[in-house]
Structure 1
């Protein structure tokens, strides 16, 4: 499985190159499906979903990169759709672009929809943004949780064996300093990456590489 786990999308040339290398062909020849389900658990969910889908969020570039086509895969709708139909959509796409928002809400609907079970068998590239990246970890810290799952717990999908602290040093997030990241890391049971918005983590068949033009730090338990 190929994953590009970003803090804030395709922010710089290094992350862009990593994406193209993983795709194996130009972006203009690739079909994308975007998932913005995580947005709806936030207070401005509809507006955030719209800006992501339409490529109007300049600080987190994802859908506006010049894809051959972009479709919307809404996870909350999938349980009411014939499974063979939506699975065919996913299998025929080159890349999934997964927006940020509430990570626990995203994990819940990935499981409820059936996408979580399908992901490991897909040959596409998965690109996460903030919550879209954190959902791949084994667990999520309480500080990143706002929505409470009806099933309880803090388990994510566990498709990588590390956790992430995104948006390190972001100017309007005073709780995202390196000191706060070190406090977060003190409770980790697995390795963790604190990463700013110029950083992404590339994972190909379990092999992990950091792609960055900014600041990041690896913490080990």
Structure 2
């Protein structure tokens, strides 16, 4: 009799355990993939989900206050840093799971600007010159300006100026920040840099600029430390 009671109890325990296992939800899973090991400020960051389960809905949290429900996560970071991206997966049964990924965003910094040639049509041979960096083509105040080079002889070009400022984004070609002007301080005339055709292109550690005159900016890439 005792053996029968133990056998019955064991059978019920097995059935109860099996029922509990059957009720445990299978969470949606996957991996967040990116095409780059790191990005640079104003790069377009694209993140894709490689999923091994049926996912009905995705919700991205990019770690900078922005979110998205698109299948491919796209975001532009405006500040360097290490961002904790969270991706919430929801399957057809309403089960959810959260995936995590770190996105490293660096910044280009200029350390030397070189004026190679001033604008055609500027007739003076000497003058006081200054390098200014701005965020637009307007007449807003520069966010950085060099010392004034007094009585500079333009026949002695190129002129190299030490700088330490962040440079735009990581795109191969950008047409906005930063706007660079070499100006003649006595008259305010722009000697090089700003013009309707001004463009910026990164190439082999140097930031080439066309427009009024010609000049370049040498830069280095700085990545945030974990």
Taking structure 2 as the reference length, the TM-score comes to 0.22
Could you say which structure has the higher helix fraction? 1
Q: Which has the higher contact order (CA 8 A, sep 6+)?
A: 1
Taking structure 1 as the reference length, the TM-score comes to 0.22
